Chains A and B, each alone.
Chain A
Amino acid sequence: MRHIISVRDMDRAAIDALLDAAYEIEARRYNPQRLAGKILALLFYEPSTRTRMSFESAMARLGGSSVTMGSVEASSVAKGETLADTIRVVSGYVDAIVLRHPKEGAARLASEFSSVPVINAGDGAGQHPSQTLLDLYTIRRAMPINGVRVGLLGDLRYGRTTHSLALALSLYGAEIAAVAPKGLELPSGILRELADRGTSVTEYSAIEDVIAGLDVLYVTRIQRERFPDTASYLDIASSYRITPELIGLARDHLIVLHPLPRVDEIDPRVDAMPNAKYFEQAHHGIPVRMAMLSEVLA
């Protein structure tokens, strides 16, 4: 039985296989009844409407159906049932489980109690492998991933999507430039892990210093609550804002990604530029999640 819990569990061959499958699906070379008769449970212990919708849509496009838990307040969770018990029961109802949970490691725990495959759709500040896979897929649709130069921008301390992405990129010999405000730099544990995987990370505090050498710019949100006061937040946020003028310093083929939703990090004037790939990136969630569902269910 195959679970998809963390990119740390995946080698390059496993990731490439999923990205290849997603490409075939996007090119409409797939059987739309591949998962006919299969039922997927969507267990969302915290709201993430778009992730849930994209898994539901992916399942429907493969001919399968989905059941959801409904609101957490109305379910046995409110009566104090453990996740482990819920998983033991629900895995008897369905063919696979997609889990979103506020606690880190919840999906790993669920996989230990489930009789069907578990896909992690985000566990707290932890792993969210479908996001990482669709990020990689978007890069690969634009250029070969091998040796790509990626700038990670924003809150790199708490923004775990960048940690998972960096770990996955290390399998492809990528070069990583980390651009973060003081206090929000990549944690030392991640830097050490990347170094062990042979990936060098160069740290910058200003995006202007590095954008000219990048192939990919991955922008993440800087949250207001990380700063002591609004003034210091606005000061930092404005200096990390992506504008057409900034993109003008970059090479033509630079692509700009963002896990969305964005707030002010990217000037809306960038949306019309050919470099802006963040909406395509969001759309890639469907073929990538279809590939993941096929992988664990077919």
Chain B
Amino acid sequence: MTEDRAQGLLISPIRDGTVIDHISAGQALNVLRILGITGTTPESVSVATNVASGRVGRKDIVKIENRELRKEEVDRIALIAPNATINIIREYTVTSKKGVETPAEVIGVVRCPNPGCISNTSEPACSRFLVTPNGLRCHYCDWLVTKEIAEHIL
């Protein structure tokens, strides 16, 4: 109950849209970057960071009004927020609640850190990474991104 009230003070409920909950603490802004939501896009967005949560200690929450994110859009955030849950809200009611699944491949999300990679040239090569248990492997140069994935987000 205490937790619910605290959240209520931080961000008010939305009528229609998407609530991304249980984001790893500190990753909310990176989640928005991955989703392509910036100050110049029209969505009304509220963000709460470092909210107390029994499940992951501290968490971030993002609420996006009047936009229902598609599954393939949100699965990309699994790279940095594997425990996130996606709630679709209609008329103040949660109509669907899902976890995120790590995709097999991520296209157009991460820039290859290898300066010698063909994907970092003027060639028409879209950034493309295979998701492996050890990290992200560049489709072009085989470079393995193992940590600080958030730093390489396009």
Contacts and interface: CB of A to CB of B under 8 A. Distances in A.
Interface string B105-119: 000000000101111
Contacts of B146: 189
Interface residues of A, number: 22
B139 interface: yes
Interface stretch (B29-37, B84-92, B93-101, B122-130): B122-130
A105 B134 contact: no
Nearest to A125: B116
A189 B125 CA distance: 24
Contacts of B123: 82-84, 109
A104 B124 contact: no
Could you tell me the dominant secondary structure of chain A's interface residues? mixed
Contacts of B117: 103-105
B144 A126 contact: no
B141 interface: yes
B140 A109 contact: yes
Contacts of B23: none
Contact of B116 (A83, A124, A127): A124
Contacts of A82: 122-124
Given A82-B123, A83-B123, A104 B134 contact: no
B134 A126 contact: no
A59 to B, nearest CB: 26
Contacts of B119: 105, 109
Contacts of A103: 116-118, 121
Nearest to A124: B116
Interface in A78-111: 82-84, 101-106, 108-109
Contacts of B143: 104
Given A83-B123, A103-B116, A196 B134 contact: yes
The secondary-structure label for the interface of chain B is loop
Contacts of A102: 116
A8 interface: yes
Interface string A105-119: 110110000000000
B142 interface: yes
A132 interface: no
Interface string B54-68: 000000000000000
A109 B117 CA distance: 11
Nearest to B124: A84
Q: Which 10 A-B pairs have the closest CB atoms?
A: A105-B140, A104-B141, A105-B118, A105-B141, A103-B118, A189-B144, A106-B118, A104-B116, A109-B118, A124-B116
Interface of A: 6, 8, 82-84, 101-106, 108-109, 123-127, 189, 192-193, 196
Given A105-B125, A105-B142, 18 more contacts: A83-B118, A84-B124, A84-B125, A102-B116, A103-B117, A104-B117, A104-B142, A104-B143, A105-B140, A109-B125, A123-B118, A126-B116, A126-B142, A189-B144, A192-B134, A193-B134, A193-B144, A196-B134
